[in-house]
Structure 1
Amino acid sequence: MESVIIVLPNRQTIAASVWTSTAPVAVVLIHPGTGIAQRYYEPFARHLAAAGFHVVTYDYRGIGRSRPASLRGMDITMADWLEDDVGAVTRWAAARFAELPLLAVGHSLGGHALALNSTTNLLHGAVLVASHAGVTATVTGLAERLRIGLVMRVLTPLLTTIYGYMPARKLGLGEDLPAGVMRQWSRWTALPRYFFDDPAMDAQARMARVRTPLLVLGFADDPWANPHAIGMLVAPLVNASVARRQIAPRDAGLAAIGHMGFFRQRVGALLWPRVVDWLRDKATAPKEAS
């Protein structure tokens, strides 16, 4: 594994890792979910490298190895992650591995980026894993809706004001988050159509520009990325070839998958080969016209 630093135009940096294959057919970028450090995706990255892909993992600014000494006063939003961080990593990989097809896998928020980002049409194909419009009202189960509502409506404004960032680790909610990221996410979750109701995002028009083939994976025991919420997210991808797969854990021989499970090795042994085959097929097929 090679550690690299990707420099953005504003001179801020993103910490990334490159997992190399001896005979690569393509490069796969792994775009993380919210508050999830790149180390979580290491088993999947190693599997892809063994299957014949170079792989790039990274941390959004403010997360994991991309976290500065202090998150207080860090001026960054979730929209910045979706466009600037993902765009910088994609352009860096396209330049570093110019001779290889470029692919991507986006987990949750990472799938949002693939649907929105101006660099997505550089890709030969992309997989969205448990990606959904994160409207609190669409979460399956009353208890989970109430929990998410408490975090977003009560704890977010309170704790980001007290600490200057979201101390998510203290709450068992993953990595700490910059205040601007958490506050914008909180606002989106309260809107009927998530960021589609934020005029500044222009999400519907941006998604209509995407022409990259997409594989969209959902899991029957995921209370957040349920079929309705996934449908809300992908419906505006009107010019992309979108293949949706809804997987029930029992049908895959698993006890559970949920929102996070796809990237765990015990699940991966059964589900990753399907994704590897899809990625390899897109890497070797002619690229869709953008």
Structure 2
Amino acid sequence: MRNTSVEIGTIAATLFEPDGEPEAVLVVHAATATPAGFYSGFARFLAENRIATVTYDYRGTGRSGSPRAHRHLGMKEWIEQDVPAVTAWAANRHPGLPQLAVGHSLGGHALTLGYGGPDLTAFALVASHVASMGSIPDRVERARVRLLLQVVGPLSAGLLGYVPARRLGLGEDVPAAAIRQWARWSSLPNYLFDDPAMRGAERAATVTQPVLAVGMSDDPWGTPAQVDRLAGYLTGARPERRTWTPAEAGLPRIGHHGFMRRAGRTTLWPNLLTWLQKQL
């Protein structure tokens, strides 16, 4: 297995390739404020199993430029521009191979809206949900998220031009426009599906590929019910559903990010790999 740093326009990416010929190419579309490096273990695992895999940082995050310099970029631009750009690059790098994708949280929203492209063979959604703050069941967590997204985040964005998310415990620093859009969408009952500019329900209905929607029973934000709500927009795809409990995974907890951590290598990842291989 070998990995190579590449540039896709101004997007910094890493390509993980098997030693032999790959049987498919896959792009990992990240969660908000989650650096590409977080997915490197998962990408290596896939490459070791003959799936060439691309990870990348959205513009204005991680290695893809400073958030202050990209203060005008919102989630809409990541979904509508960055996701298709990396998808096209991966397809051109390995022409003729089946194209797969895994979308984590926000990355899954982009795939649900069809921005992974019409040539995808299949894709999986991990902890992707209708991310309305009002749906967070725990009152304390709901209040914490509301404070971060609607008060602290916008205030720091106004002062600095970006959100110092690392210091706030939100992950990677993000551009000002992204936190404002995140705050606005999360205040809506149906998240981005209530934003007419996104044409969410209309676009999701055009997706026809096989889809696996994975949720975790202990995810404080993407509850199984909210994962089901997102999958429900895929009216032309009939997505398969899988909810993991920590006990089934042999882990003390999984949460919103735990599926992609290296602790999932022996239970969670092989299950997803098997599903992907079946689609080939």
TM, length-normalised to structure 1? 0.93
Deviations 1:92-127 (A, max 9, x none): 111111121100011111100110134432111101
Structure 1: tracts of 5 or more residues without a match: 8-12, 284-290
Residues 138 and 228 in structure 1, CA contact (< 8 A), matched pair in contact too: no
Correspondences of 1:80-229 after superposition (within 5 Å): 80-229=77-226
Cα distance, 1:212 vs. partner? 1.1
Deviations 1:1-28 (A, max 9, x none): 1111112xxxxx1011110012311011
Residues 215 and 242 in structure 1, CA contact (< 8 A), matched pair in contact too: yes
Aligned partner of 2:59 in structure 1 is 61
Q: Distance in 1 between matches of 2:37 and 2:116?
A: 24
1:253 to 226, 245, 250: 250
Deviations 1:184-214 (A, max 9, x none): 0100010111111111111000101111111
Q: Distance in 2 between matches of 1:243 and 1:89?
A: 25
Deviations 1:228-249 (A, max 9, x none): 2112212111001300101111
Residues 83 and 117 in structure 1, CA contact (< 8 A), matched pair in contact too: no
Structure 2: tracts of 5 or more residues without a match: none
Q: Distance in 1 between matches of 2:223 and 2:61?
A: 26
Summarize the Cα distance change of 1:43–1:66 in structure 2 as closer, same or farther, 3 Å threshold.
same
Amino acid at match of 2:46: L
Aligned partner of 1:287 in structure 2 is none
Amino acid at match of 1:177: V
Cα distance, 1:72 vs. partner? 4.5
Question: 3-state SS of the aligned residue for 1:65?
Answer: coil
Q: CA RMSD in A?
A: 1.2
Residues 38 and 57 in structure 1, CA contact (< 8 A), matched pair in contact too: yes
Aligned partner of 1:2 in structure 2 is 4
Residues 8 and 86 in structure 2, CA contact (< 8 A), matched pair in contact too: yes
Between the two proteins, the alignment pairs up a number of residues equal to: 277
Q: Distance in 1 between matches of 2:249 and 2:68?
A: 41
Residues 110 and 116 in structure 2, CA contact (< 8 A), matched pair in contact too: no
Amino acid at match of 1:176: D
Question: 3-state SS of the aligned residue for 2:11?
Answer: strand
Q: Distance in 2 between matches of 1:132 and 1:96?
A: 31
TM, length-normalised to structure 2? 0.96
